[in-house]
């Protein structure tokens, strides 16, 4: 059966006793894992007990396609409820898994264990997804990323439960940064709660400065410093940041990837402006939107770099990537040369 929305939430809170298992799939791996853990506690009184819970991977079934069926019908030696957790990193065994689910759905009385499958994004043509969605007794629940409004609500509620408030501008800056992965969002909320002493101090409140200091990707240090300074023409500060990063064992390929993402975002915003959007509208239209503490720098780069120049910068970065992947290539020198070239152009355009 296919579940979504309120039906899915209700099912997760109280799975039917006659349901042998559930498939959780979708692009938000963190949400899949969170829901799987919640369901596991409903399915088994001891979900972390290795004697009552069997954890399988997709590769475990590659050499033994019948193992899932065997595990599902095997009786517990201790007489307690058994739980099977299958984590799929690929669908190479899709046909055999789908066949097993169809056979068990026809004879649910043979199931001696409960099954939870966590998978990535699956197309409607997926044999496994089809088997669960068309089953009478098994359930399929898609896990898609929360909206910014949903994330904002989760942040506010989680902090409020710990007697911690959050300023509106801090919440507006935080929500876009947590899109895409519920697990990462929970981790960042936990970090904020710890920073604020879990509400032990009366009137504790998360501010915009706290977001800038703590949240991954929002800080003023690291890869963002390098790429923002390069595209702004700040060669000396860019070079200093690059040297610190490389001395700290940051991979040059990571620097290049961050630079490419930044240039592509600038190009997207520039194209939006060419279609009539203001710079502010173009920045808000990006996903995720430009972090509030970086808006001035991003806007300055948009004024410096015309759309045609950004297209050339993308081409240069791709050529550099190709060279960096060549055997024996001096990767640190190559990324440094690219950053200097971009910074020099931006400095002349200021």
161 and 35 in a common domain: no
34 and 133 in a common domain: yes
179 and 234 in a common domain: no
Lowest-confidence region among 181-185, 297-301, 308-312, 336-340: 181-185
Which class for 322: exposed (0-12), middle (13-18), buried (19 or more C-beta within 10 A)?
exposed
| DSSP 8-state code for residue 197 | G
Q: What is the pLDDT of residues 127-178, one digit of tens each?
A: 999 999 999 999 999 998 777 788 889 999 999 999 999 999 888 888 877 7
263 and 158 in a common domain: no
Q: What is the CATH number of the domain that holds 164?
A: 1.10.8
30 and 58 in a common domain: yes
Lowest-confidence region among 141-145, 243-247, 319-323: 243-247
Average pLDDT value for residue range 225-247: 89
126 and 75 in a common domain: yes
Is the pLDDT higher at 349 or at 218?
A: 349
> What was the pLDDT predicted at 215?
66
197 and 157 in a common domain: yes
274 and 182 in a common domain: no
162 and 104 in a common domain: no
153 and 135 in a common domain: no
Calculate what percentage of the chain has a pLDDT beyond 70: 95
Of 186, 214, 242, which residue constitutes the final position of a domain? 214
- Mean pLDDT computed over every residue of the chain: 88
Is the pLDDT higher at 124 or at 180?
A: 124
Structure confidence at residue 221 as a pLDDT band (50, 70, 90): very low
C-alpha to C-alpha distance for 265 and 224, rounded to whole angstroms: 13
On whether the CB atoms of residues 197 and 313 are closer than 8 A, the answer is no
Six token digits for residue 3:
């579940």
Structure confidence at residue 219 as a pLDDT band (50, 70, 90): very low
The answer to whether residue 273 scores a pLDDT higher than 70 is yes
Q: What is the pLDDT of residues 108-117, one digit of tens each?
A: 999 999 999 9
- Our count of domains for the chain comes to 3
C-alpha to C-alpha distance for 276 and 331, rounded to whole angstroms: 40
Q: What is the pLDDT of residues 30-87, one digit of tens each?
A: 889 889 999 999 999 888 888 889 999 888 898 888 999 999 998 876 667 799 999 9
> What was the pLDDT predicted at 223?
80
On whether the CB atoms of residues 139 and 23 are closer than 8 A, the answer is yes
Q: Please provide the DSSP assignment of 96-163 as one string.
A: HHHHHHHHHHH-GGG--EEEEEE-----TT-HHHHHHHT-SS-EEEE--PPPHHHHHHHHHHHHHTTT
Residue 235: give the domain boundaries. Answer: 223-349
C-alpha dist (Å) from residue 193 to 43, 112, 151:
30, 41, 16
Q: What is the CATH number of the domain that holds 253?
A: 1.20.272.10
Structure confidence at residue 217 as a pLDDT band (50, 70, 90): very low
């Amino acid at each position: 059966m296919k579940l979504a929305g309120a039906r899915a939430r209700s099912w997760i809170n109280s799975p039917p006793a006659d349901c042998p298992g559930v498939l959780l799939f979708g692009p938000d791996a963190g949400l899949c894992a969170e829901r799987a853990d919640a369901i596991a506690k409903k399915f088994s009184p001891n979900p972390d007990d290795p004697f009552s819970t069997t954890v399988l991977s997709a590769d475990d079934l590659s050499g033994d396609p019948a193992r899932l069926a065997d595990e599902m019908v095997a009786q517990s030696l201790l007489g307690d409820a058994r739980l099977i957790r299958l984590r799929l990193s690929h669908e190479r065994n899709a046909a055999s898994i789908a066949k097993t689910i169809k056979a068990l759905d026809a004879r649910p009385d043979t199931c001696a264990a409960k099954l939870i499958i966590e998978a990535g994004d699956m197309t409607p043509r997926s044999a496994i997804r089809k088997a669960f969605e068309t089953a009478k007794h098994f359930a399929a629940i898609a896990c898609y990323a929360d909206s910014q409004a949903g994330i904002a609500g989760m942040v506010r509620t989680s902090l409020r439960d710990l007697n911690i408030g959050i300023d509106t501008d801090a919440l507006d800056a935080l929500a876009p940064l947590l899109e895409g992965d519920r697990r990462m969002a929970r981790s960042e909320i936990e970090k904020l709660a710890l920073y604020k002493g879990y509400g032990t101090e009366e009137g504790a409140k998360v501010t915009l400065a706290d977001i800038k200091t703590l949240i991954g990707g929002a800080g003023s240090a690291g890869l963002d410093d390098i790429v923002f300074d390069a595209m702004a023409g700040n060669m000396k500060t860019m070079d200093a940041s690059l040297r610190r990063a490389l001395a700290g064992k940051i991979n040059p390929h990571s620097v290049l990837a961050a630079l490419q993402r930044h240039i592509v975002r600038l190009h997207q915003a520039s194209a939006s402006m060419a279609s009539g959007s203001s710079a502010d509208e173009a920045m808000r239209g990006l996903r995720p939107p430009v972090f509030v503490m970086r808006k001035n720098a991003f806007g300055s780069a948009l004024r410096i770099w015309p759309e045609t120049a950004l297209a050339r910068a993308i081409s240069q970065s791709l050529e550099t990537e190709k060279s960096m992947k060549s055997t024996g290539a001096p990767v640190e020198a190559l990324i440094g040369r690219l950053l200097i070239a971009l910074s020099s152009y931006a400095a002349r355009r200021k």
